[in-house]
Amino acid sequence: MSAPAVARTLPSWARWVAPIGTGVIGLALWVLYVDVLQAAPLMLPSPIAIGEELVLRWDIIWEDMLITASNALIGLAAGSLIAVMFAAIAATFRPVDGMLAPIVAALAVIPIVAITPILNTMFGASSQFGRQAVAGLTAFIPVFVNVLRGLHQTTPVHRDLFRSIGATGEQTFRKLTFPTALPYLTTGLRIASSLAVISALVAEYCGGPADGIGTAIASYAKSGHAALAWAYVVGGILIGLAFFLVTAALEWWATRRAPA
Amino acid sequence: MTVTTPAVRADAVGKVFPTKTGEVTALTDVQLDVAPGEFVSLIGPSGCGKSTLLRLIADLDAPTSGTLEIFGKPAAKARHDQDYGIAFQQAGLLPWRTVGENIGLPLEIHGKDKRQRADRVAELAELVGLTDFVDSHPDQLSGGMQQRVAIARSLAEQPRLLLMDEPFGALDEMTREYLQSELTRIAAETHAAVVFVTHSIPEAVFLSDRVVVMSPRPGRITEIVDVGLPDERDEQLREAPEYYDGVTAVREALHGTTTARPNER
Amino acid sequence: MTVTTPAVRADAVGKVFPTKTGEVTALTDVQLDVAPGEFVSLIGPSGCGKSTLLRLIADLDAPTSGTLEIFGKPAAKARHDQDYGIAFQQAGLLPWRTVGENIGLPLEIHGKDKRQRADRVAELAELVGLTDFVDSHPDQLSGGMQQRVAIARSLAEQPRLLLMDEPFGALDEMTREYLQSELTRIAAETHAAVVFVTHSIPEAVFLSDRVVVMSPRPGRITEIVDVGLPDERDEQLREAPEYYDGVTAVREALHGTTTARPNER
Amino acid sequence: SSSESEEEPTTSASGTTEDFEPLTSVSLQLQWLPQAQFAGYYVALDQGYFEEEGFTDVEIIPSGGDIVPQDALVAGDVDFAVAWVPKVLGTLEATGVELTDIAQVFHSSGTLQVAWADSGIESVADFEGKRIGSWGFGNEWEIFAAMAAEGLDSTTVEITTQDFSMNALLDGDVDAAQAMTYNEWAQVLEVVNPETGELYQPEDFTVISYEDTEGAMLQDAIWADTARLESDPAYADAAVRFLKAITKGWLYARDNPEDAAAIVYDYAVNAELAYPVGPTHQLWMMNETNKLIWTGDDFGVIDSAAWDKTVAGALSATNQDGLNLITTEPADSAYSNEYIEAALAALEEEGVDVSGDYTEIDVTLTEGGQ
Amino acid sequence: MRGAKGLGWGILGVLSLILLWEGYKLVGPAEGVVVGDDGSAGSGTILLPRTHERAMPHVWDMAARLFESTSGGDSPPLIVSVANAALLTLGIAALGLVIGVTVGMALGLVMQRWRLAEWGLLPWIIVSQTVPLIAFAPVINSIGNQIDRGGTPWPQWLSVAVIASYLAFFPVAVGALRGLESPDRIHLDLMKSYAAGYRTTLLKLRLPASVPHLLPALRLGAANAVLGVVVAEVSIGMRGGLGRMLIQLAGQASGDPAAPWGPIFGSVVLGLIAAGSIAVLGVGLKKYRRGEASA
Ligand SMILES: Nc1ncnc2c1ncn2[C@@H]1O[C@H](COP(=O)(O)OP(=O)(O)OP(=O)(O)O)[C@@H](O)[C@H]1O
Ligand SMILES: Nc1ncnc2c1ncn2[C@@H]1O[C@H](COP(=O)(O)OP(=O)(O)OP(=O)(O)O)[C@@H](O)[C@H]1O
Ligand SMILES: [Mg+2]
Ligand SMILES: [Mg+2]
């Protein structure tokens, strides 16, 4: 029970120092495990070595980051757009909701490694399309689920109000239903953003043009360049974080005025 | 319009809700006329159909029997013509809109141009005493202020009929008394007829020309109390004997008809 | 314990909340004694510190100045000794527990054995008239019934002091009047002292021996009205002149001190 | 052919008692899932050749997606590993570990680049500006080495990472796809040509074999831990016995390709719960694998010229990131014929005929390889 | 009644999807619809997918393929191999989920108990999910082998379960934190007024109140565990599970395009079973979800 009481006495700088402290401790343990004890397998290099590679090879890592990030972004945008459309249809026509339910549930559990080759065959192995499609597909799920929920969140009093002032269906959607669903959309986007990056990256690993973070990670991990491979992993994390932070900011902006 | 056309005329109105466990008769045989400019309160225990009746008048639901006329027209037409304004227990403001934008919502929906809208919003904000807050968001307002925004919104189209479903139910007593005075002032200024749902006997008496007392199972009107207080309603009145008489009259009408067993309260 | 030890003694109690935008003085210099078995209401406009004072008494918060004694002990000790029972505006029932399990929660936490617990729960359910509902879940109950469960729960440990923060605030007026009568009966039966927060003047008058009137900015006691009604409080009383006198006295005490500007309501 | 070496290894072959306890349990890490490419090892297991060499417990560990045989060997997870020479050279330089190629199972490269017959791609020189398929992960070095030998810039080709199927070629997503003679090439020929309704025919494609280019590199080899070979006589002894057993296995596979293919297939399906492409495909693979092993040289003996060619290719090749596979010559310890020669000598002593050639068989592919 | 109706619509949905697939296959061009193709390989953007057999096998071919032998010879029918592999994968996923839930709950409890822990850990927990599984699956496998060599038996499936738990723990940790913090102030005040300690409050209030948050988290965690096991199996090539079967059959996708769909269906069914089993758990915990309807 003392938790909230303690929280109040914590200085505000602890907010920033705590995660940094955790990071420093984590890095120290890592260095201890790899460099001092030398107990780690070769595949797990020291963070120092990773940092060196990151600096040394930043230009090629950056190039691949751009490719993976753009694939993830295109997938995220397209997947979200389609998800919003489907959610709007499902919210309007109940049966469609029921019809989509099993398909969405199944999509949510399809392994990326399984569908990427199929998408590559369907859409061409030499285009980035397969990756974008995979990113889109993974982004679709959380956006669809959240927007659909959001579209059902209008309160009876608001619905009554719009009816009482004789608003048309289109006006009700634009001025009530959509703004109500907006915070849900941004929550969905936030969840989808990290997933899109991860899945674009994993898709690269399953074929397609020989570029992007995922391809590089696998290539270098398999040729003994563990530190370089992990430098690429850091690149992937940076993309994921960038996506997360942008969408989290968006979510914060949208939920600011949301009803409690 | 002739003076004799009532603002609301309910003739043998009934409402039955089909539910999973059978039919619920929410209202039977409701007979009620509200004159233009008249202030009528609906009072009665929970579930007696007050809200249902109000929603029928507002054409938010359709009656299953009987007829309803608003200024001589069918309820649906009255709704489309914006003959009434409505306010609910929850203020029901859109949180992403400012106070001004909330007040102006009906005008916006009906395509009033920006200039006209701004003028009217300023006027309404003034009326409810929120001029300084037009650019605030609802979450920055107290409950009483939010409810005043909702009332301003319901007045936006200058309706001749105001429908209010426990608009002060969620407020504390002191704010409530204050808003009651405001409402009588506004109703007088706008010459609108008001149908006002409440749980509070003092509130009903303080505000109304007539108090409609209802009883549940099935919901029906059991008595209509003519309050007979002067048109001017001020704070003095709350301590006046006529007022206490009105309260006693409504209490008795109500208790005579209250059949709810304690366990179901 | 001697008869002279008050149930609650607040001596120069003050409470300041540190907030992001500076300090908020919620209470200053509160001086209050509540005698055992006495029924005291706290009334005042929103934000005047009623809840804060109650929470200090319950040791849910600590005062920043002054001293508080409950039956002669520090508030924290009284809390650990379970000297008081508490009820809030929301019933605050645990939705996954049945009515019986909710009533028995404090007993369960204090390790009373199952048998004893069952007996006491049955007794309490009887007291609040919910014997038929002990196995129901809260969501199957009306708001008034839920609030009665909460009251039963606050009585579980036979406290000599009952703390209630607007327990009937969310209920409709008729249920409210009914529960007020119930509460006076229960308070009389259990001989508990009651500190009762309310917004409603009639409620405060109907229930209390003394009404403590508070005013905000900073929260302080401005007047204590001795109601002086007979111990027996029944429905008749609500129409009695002494009752109206009490209401008028409290209203005047309140309005004389209300400094809130309309815009902030 | 016969053994040219007269020198006895420092540690003797099995049978002699030395001052160490002979290893009876060893493990071998493969570089992919069980299939006829690895027939010799499974045959040795099936025919009891390992037992004959004193091993009571031999584990053959298939690899999946990310398990790198040389890494498993370095980590000590296994005693021996099958891996391609250039990939191991890359790892050796990048990590600074030491491994030794103790037997070169494949004497020639089985890598092809397959293009449509009408594509105009006839040689590596035609790659420039084209989209070239490769599995990546180390399989691309022959392409880059061959291009480097032609003076071509590796950044002028666009590489598409092929997945496990040959659809990228069939759908025209790449101009030329990588294929192993023994596996993917057959997969292409197991597909029905929608125009004819029959399987695709070799004439439908142009095939560039890296064996014919300067990019050819040594492939499947048996690798051992260098330091352990030097310090642990039991391990060195086991290496020789292990090589004896697998030599016998591969000899069996050479002489009985049908049986050997069936043995691997059975083992894969029943013991490994792996589902390789069907029996006819395995037979094709057995046939092609035998061709890569039995080129007329002694089994397993590393040809220094081929080794040097591989090293030269590895030194010259740069990938699309502009990085080199290796920048310096590998250590001398990176290969040694000592063990395989000892094994062959011991086998001859025991009367096993390690000479002889492989006679190709005719394999008719079926749809889907089943 | 409503369940049956929902099922009906669901079946209709799946049928429409099949119809869409076959319908498009019927009318769509074999090479798809490509724009911006300059004649060279792999150029242009495909707007509509290819419809030939290798890209979009007939649904009935996929179904029929399930009953043919997995890889010719005397190998069992595909459906049997898939079922066997799915069982193994499911078992490992269950273990992965257990590990994930244990770790996730522990983190949730710690973060709820100490605000400083929440500040220190939560950002890293979020960052952890941006690290791709394929990057560290081999590391885990390798550490597992190290432990195994060190004398403590560490079978490969344990590594797979640990890798899967990495995906499973995340929603649980976040859901537990949110759930444990979900009780209303009024309930916390009530417990304080009873002078209840941390343990009592946890058992009587926080844990029961967290159920509505935990169930969706568990459902996500279960689905993630299955996905994680499949990826881990692919990555470290563990024998017997769906993951390796997926890559193995993908290897014959050119000549036998319907084959890879077997394990794909298998893993989808598995994911649904995993998520569905949480729904069953939810029924068992129904009384803790009474608040949900109103929310
Ligand atoms: N949509 C509905 N479906 C089914 N029954 C309904 C519906 N709306 C109202 N009812 C029922 O009709 C009856 C009257 O309800 P109504 O809301 O009008 O009562 P009320 O007088 O406004 O009560 P309260 O004072 O609690 O607001 C109740 O028994 C209620 O359960
Ligand atoms: N935890 C807190 N932190 C900061 N300020 C607080 C806190 N609790 C209360 N206050 C402030 O203290 C003052 C008194 O609050 P309190 O809740 O006691 O008023 P109240 O009389 O109970 O009002 P109401 O009738 O609305 O319940 C208010 O100005 C409030 O904003
Ligand atoms: Mg109502
Ligand atoms: Mg309060």
Q: Which of A42, A218, A223 sits opposite D74 (nearest CB)?
A: A42
Average pLDDT on A46-74 reads 95
Cα D316-D320-D321 angle, rounded to 5 deg? 100
Q: What pLDDT is attached to residue B190?
A: 86
Interatomic CA distance for residues C132 and D54, integer angstroms: 83
Q: How many CB pairs under 8 A join B and C?
A: 71
Q: Ligand 3 being an ion, which residues bring their Cβ within 5 A of it?
A: B 51
Average pLDDT on E256-281 reads 91
| A259 close to E (CB below 8 A) | no
Is the Cβ pair E248, D276 closer than 8 Å?
yes
> Which segment, B222-231, D101-110, D320-329, is predicted with the most confidence on average?
D101-110
The 10s digit of each residue's pLDDT in B84-101 is 999 998 889 999 999 999
Q: Confidence class of residue D7 from pLDDT cuts 50, 70 and 90?
A: very low
CA of C52 to the centre of ligand 2 (A): 6
Chain A nearest-CA distance from D78, in A, is 14
Domain count, chain E: 1
Question: Strand B39-43 vs strand B193-197: parallel, antiparallel, or unpaired?
Answer: parallel
Query: What part of A 208-227 touches E (C-beta under 8 Å)?
Result: 214, 217-218, 221
Chains C and D touch (3+ CB pairs under 8 A): no
* DSSP structural state of residue E252: T
Q: Confidence class of residue B3 from pLDDT cuts 50, 70 and 90?
A: low
Q: Whose CA is nearest to atom 24 of ligand 1?
A: B46
Chains near A with 3+ CB pairs less than 8 A apart are B, D, E
Asked if pLDDT for residue B34 goes beyond 80, the answer is yes
- Local structure of C211: helix, strand or coil: strand
Alpha-carbon D231 to chain mean position: 28
Higher-pLDDT residue of B242 and D228 is: D228
Asked if pLDDT for residue E247 goes beyond 90, the answer is no
* DSSP structural state of residue E76: P
Is the Cβ pair C90, E186 closer than 8 Å?
yes
Q: What pLDDT is attached to residue C23?
A: 86
Interatomic CA distance for residues D235 and D145, integer angstroms: 35
The 10s digit of each residue's pLDDT in A70-104 is 999 999 999 999 999 999 999 988 889 889 988 99
DSSP result, A81-140 = HHHHHHHHHHHH-HHHHHHHHHHHHHHHT--HHHHHHHHHHHH-TTSTHHHHHHHHHHHH
- Which range marks the domain in which residue E222 is found? 58-288
Domains of chain B: 8-83+161-264 (3.40.50.300), 93-158 (no CATH)
Domain boundaries of chain A, sorted by first residue:
46-257
Check which CATH number belongs to the domain holding E231 and give it: 1.10.3720.10
Q: What pLDDT is attached to residue A15?
A: 86
Interatomic CA distance for residues C169 and C176, integer angstroms: 8
Interatomic CA distance for residues E281 and E222, integer angstroms: 12
CB A90 within 8 A of CB A149: no
Element (H, E) at B200: none
Collect all residues with Cβ–Cβ distance below 8 Å to D34 and sequence separation of at least 6. Answer: D42, D60, D62, D264, D267, D268, D272, D274, D276
Ligand nearest to the CA of C49: 2
Q: Which of B82, B92, B96 sits opposite A166 (nearest CB)?
A: B82
Chain E CA closest to residue D193: E255
Q: Which of E189, E288, E293 sits opposite C96 (nearest CB)?
A: E288
Average pLDDT on C221-246 reads 84
Average pLDDT value for chain B:
87
Q: Confidence class of residue B217 from pLDDT cuts 50, 70 and 90?
A: confident
Is the Cβ pair E189, C90 closer than 8 Å?
no
Collect all residues with Cβ–Cβ distance below 8 Å to C103 and sequence separation of at least 6. Answer: C121, C124, C125, C134, C149, C152, C153, C156
Is the Cβ pair B199, C172 closer than 8 Å?
yes
Element (H, E) at C223: strand C220-226
Q: What pLDDT is attached to residue C262?
A: 42
The 10s digit of each residue's pLDDT in C147-162 is 889 999 999 988 999 9
Higher-pLDDT residue of C89 and A235 is: A235
Q: Which of B215, B211, B214 is nearest to B243 (CA)?
A: B211
Collect all residues with Cβ–Cβ distance below 8 Å to E108 and sequence separation of at least 6. Answer: E172, E173, E174, E175, E176, E177, E179, E180
Average pLDDT on E217-230 reads 93
Pocket test for ligand 2, best of C23, C41, C50 (most atoms within 8 A of CB): C50
Chains near B with 3+ CB pairs less than 8 A apart are A, C
Q: Which of C81, C103, C109, C135 to mutate to test the interface with E (most CBs of E within 10 A)?
A: C109
CB C17 within 8 A of CB C23: yes
Ligand nearest to the CA of C265: 2
Whole-prediction pTM: 0.89
**E17 inside domain:** no
Q: Quick one: tokens of D119?
A: 């594509």
**E161 inside domain:** yes
Q: Which of E40, E235, E254 to mutate to test the interface with D (most CBs of D within 10 A)?
A: E254
Element (H, E) at C194: strand C193-198
Higher-pLDDT residue of B196 and E39 is: B196
Nearest atom in ligand 2 to the alpha carbon of residue C89 is: 27
Chain E CA closest to residue D164: E251
Is the Cβ pair B172, C199 closer than 8 Å?
yes
Nearest atom in ligand 2 to the alpha carbon of residue C45 is: 25
Q: Quick one: tokens of A219?
A: 């290539």
Task: Output phi, psi for D334, to 5 deg.
Answer: -70, -20
Collect all residues with Cβ–Cβ distance below 8 Å to A29 and sequence separation of at least 6. Answer: none
Alpha-carbon C108 to chain mean position: 23
CATH assignment of A46-257?
1.10.3720.10
Among C129-138, C226-235, E110-119, the minimum mean pLDDT is found in C226-235
Average pLDDT on E106-124 reads 94
Q: What pLDDT is attached to residue B19?
A: 82
Interatomic CA distance for residues D84 and D98, integer angstroms: 15
Q: What pLDDT is attached to residue A8?
A: 54
Percent composition of chain E: helix, strand, coil (DSSP 3-state, to 5) = 70, 5, 25
Q: What pLDDT is attached to residue D317?
A: 85
Q: What is the CA radius of gyration of chain A?
A: 23
Asked if pLDDT for residue C16 goes beyond 60, the answer is yes
- Bond from prior residue into A47 cis (ω within 30 degrees of 0): no
- Bond from prior residue into D9 cis (ω within 30 degrees of 0): no
Q: Confidence class of residue A259 from pLDDT cuts 50, 70 and 90?
A: low
Tell me the percentage of chain C whose pLDDT exceeds 90.
53
Nearest atom in ligand 1 to the alpha carbon of residue B19 is: 4
Asked if pLDDT for residue C263 goes beyond 80, the answer is no
Is the Cβ pair D171, E254 closer than 8 Å?
no
CA of D183 to the centre of ligand 3 (A): 76
The 10s digit of each residue's pLDDT in A155-191 is 889 999 999 988 998 999 999 999 999 999 999 999 9
| E116 close to A (CB below 8 A) | yes
Asked if pLDDT for residue B255 goes beyond 90, the answer is no
DSSP result, C116-162 = HHHHHHHHHHHHTT-GGGTTS-GGGS-HHHHHHHHHHHHHTT--SEE
Q: Confidence class of residue A257 from pLDDT cuts 50, 70 and 90?
A: low
Average pLDDT on E89-106 reads 96
**E44 inside domain:** no
Higher-pLDDT residue of B260 and D192 is: D192
Q: Whose CA is nearest to atom 11 of ligand 2?
A: C26
Residue type, C227: V
Average pLDDT on B114-143 reads 90
Q: Confidence class of residue E291 from pLDDT cuts 50, 70 and 90?
A: low
**E39 inside domain:** no
* DSSP structural state of residue E67: T
DSSP result, E126-140 = HHHTTS-HHHHHHHH
Average pLDDT value for chain C:
87
Asked if pLDDT for residue A3 goes beyond 80, the answer is no
Pocket test for ligand 2, best of C24, C214, C257, C258 (most atoms within 8 A of CB): C24
The 10s digit of each residue's pLDDT in E143-153 is 998 898 888 89
Higher-pLDDT residue of E175 and D368 is: E175
The 10s digit of each residue's pLDDT in D264-289 is 999 988 888 888 888 999 999 999 99
